[in-house]
Chains A and B, each alone.
Chain A
Amino acid sequence: SQQGEEDPQALSIQEGENATMNCSYKTSINNLQWYRQNSGRGLVHLILIRSNEREKHSGRLRVTLDTSKKSSSLLITASRAADTASYFCATDAFSEGGGNKLTFGTGTQLKVEL
């Protein structure tokens, strides 16, 4: 099962432009995380935002979280061709069996062209 829906499904931009991806989710969360996946590879963690935070920055990444709307956005500024990848949001929530379950969204495929 997947917790989040991401929008857009695909995004194509020119190098130097900003890229914005949105994520909506359904249940209460402890935190929300964003991951990146290059084609055919494993996922790599980018940034984590806690449920009591509204905005967080890391290098060229900016993440916002609105728990009242159950949504988050990831902004990549001054994009580079090397940013071409799929990006996924993941919600961290208490599992019904105990512990923390990490559930992923459907992803946004970003293509940055030279």
Chain B
Amino acid sequence: DTGVSQDPRHKITKRGQNVTFRCDPISEHNRLYWYRQTLGQGPEFLTYFQNEAQLEKSRLLSDRFSAERPKGSFSTLEIQRTEQGDSAMYLCASRPTGARTEAFFGQGTRLTVV
């Protein structure tokens, strides 16, 4: 499968624990996005990488959230000291170079904080 892969698909964690999600983009795509989606809402932008550089991070994002993309390949999203409000679907998408290109999404990681 050469699509965008996210791991794990589901994660249940206790409040206060740290969690880390992984995204493997389509190999030739240099752009990678993270989104958060809650039920009935559209994907909310979290952060964006071009190669290994993190170009933008949502101002709404708590400093408990951090993302990396070492060597411009896979990316990780870490949430420290999780709260119940962090429960959501976390989506990763990648795009190739170019001004008029579509994004390819993974299946998402569903996080439940109990």
Interface string of A19-41 (1 = CB under 8 A from B): 00000000000110101000011
Contact among A48, A50, A95, A107 for B55, CB-based, below 8 A: A95
Contact A42 B91 (CB under 8 A): yes
Contact B106 A42 (CB under 8 A): yes
Contact B102 A42 (CB under 8 A): no
Decide yes or no whether B12 CB sits under 8 A from chain A.
no
Closest to A9 in B: B40
Main secondary structure of the interface of A (DSSP, over half): strand
Decide yes or no whether A2 CB sits under 8 A from chain B.
yes
A33 to B42 alpha-carbon distance, docked (Å): 14
Contact A1 B58 (CB under 8 A): yes
Contact A1 B56 (CB under 8 A): no
Total interface residues in chain A, CB < 8 Å: 33
A55 to B94 alpha-carbon distance, docked (Å): 26
Residues of B within 8 A of A (CB): 4, 31, 33, 35, 40-45, 48, 50, 54-56, 58-60, 89, 91, 93, 95, 99-100, 102-108, 110
Residues of A within 8 A of B (CB): 1-2, 4, 6, 30-31, 33, 35, 40-45, 48, 50, 88, 90, 92, 95-107, 109
User: What are 20 contact pairs spanning A and B, CB under 8 A?
Assistant: A1-B44, A4-B42, A31-B100, A40-B89, A42-B4, A43-B91, A43-B103, A44-B105, A45-B103, A50-B100, A90-B103, A95-B55, A98-B55, A99-B56, A101-B45, A102-B45, A103-B45, A104-B45, A107-B41, A109-B40
